[in-house]
Amino acid sequence: MTTIGVIGGTGGQGFGIALRFAQVGENVIIGSRTIDKALAAVEKAKELLGDIPNIQAATNPEAAKAADVLVLTVPLAAQRDILLSIKEGAAGKPLLDATGPLESCIGGSATRYIDLPEGSAAERSQSILPDAKVICAFNTISQSWWLQLDEPIDCDCLISGNDEDAKAFVTPLIEKIPGIKVVDCGKLERARIIEKITPLLIGLNIKNKCQFGGIRITGLDKGRA
């Protein structure tokens, strides 16, 4: 059993990811800047899932130290400060970065992408935490899917990262969540492409008045002609 620390786990996306991993039997730590917010999220989780023993609360630094794998689900504006707060605990561990560099973070549109000097939010995380094994992940899955606890998630999870062993370790863990297939897109620099799919999907959801638009990559099992 793996212990997963969801850094910033009280927001909609982080909370949903925490619920899904707890559902499939993993140990989950919901992290927050304050223990009170984390405890409130755990109580809400137990109302939804029952009084399960495999979900607990901690501050973000405590969650990072105790977990085997970290999931970062924080707004872009908070990314740097929160990463610095977990730097010690994150060293040597896979960190699944779901940060979305969207204009909505600075008062603009959620359908537009912010170009970052590092190239992507995930690469920014790697520059701040050079000893962590940063993997871009979860950017192509709508927040609404995570909270549909009685349904499989009808989306692929596109990932990218420089540490092949870390990607191999987290792939079966992510695929324990019903419906998800992981697609390894290569080195961390591919996050520059993956993260730009997020505003595209948000725009499609708005256009079609839905919340569950996602992406599937097909044909990879056919091999070369």
> What is the per-residue pLDDT for 102?
61
Mean pLDDT of 170-191: 96
**pLDDT confidence band for 33 (50 / 70 / 90):** very high
Q: Count Cα neighbours of 177 within 13 Å in the Cβ-side half-sphere.
A: 26
pLDDT at 178 over 80: yes
Please tell me the least confidently modeled range out of 100-104, 119-123, 167-171: 100-104
> What is the per-residue pLDDT for 142?
86
> What is the per-residue pLDDT for 202?
76
> What is the per-residue pLDDT for 193?
92
> What is the per-residue pLDDT for 171?
97
pLDDT at 107 over 80: no
Mean pLDDT of 137-147: 90
pLDDT at 109 over 70: no
Higher-pLDDT residue of 117 and 27 is 27
CA 104 to chain CA centroid, nearest Å: 18
- Round to whole Å and give the CA distance between 155 and 176: 13
Higher-pLDDT residue of 161 and 51 is 161
Higher-pLDDT residue of 113 and 19 is 19
Mean pLDDT of 140-148: 88
Higher-pLDDT residue of 205 and 94 is 94
> What is the per-residue pLDDT for 203?
77
> What is the per-residue pLDDT for 223?
66
- Round to whole Å and give the CA distance between 116 and 123: 9
Please tell me the least confidently modeled range out of 54-68, 118-132, 133-147, 205-219: 205-219
> What is the per-residue pLDDT for 52?
83
30 contacts 2 by C-beta, under 8 angstroms:
no
Domains and CATH numbers, the chain: 3-222 (3.40.50.720)
Q: What is the pTM of this model?
A: 0.90
pLDDT at 108 over 80: no
168 contacts 111 by C-beta, under 8 angstroms:
no
Kindly report the average pLDDT of the chain as a whole number: 90
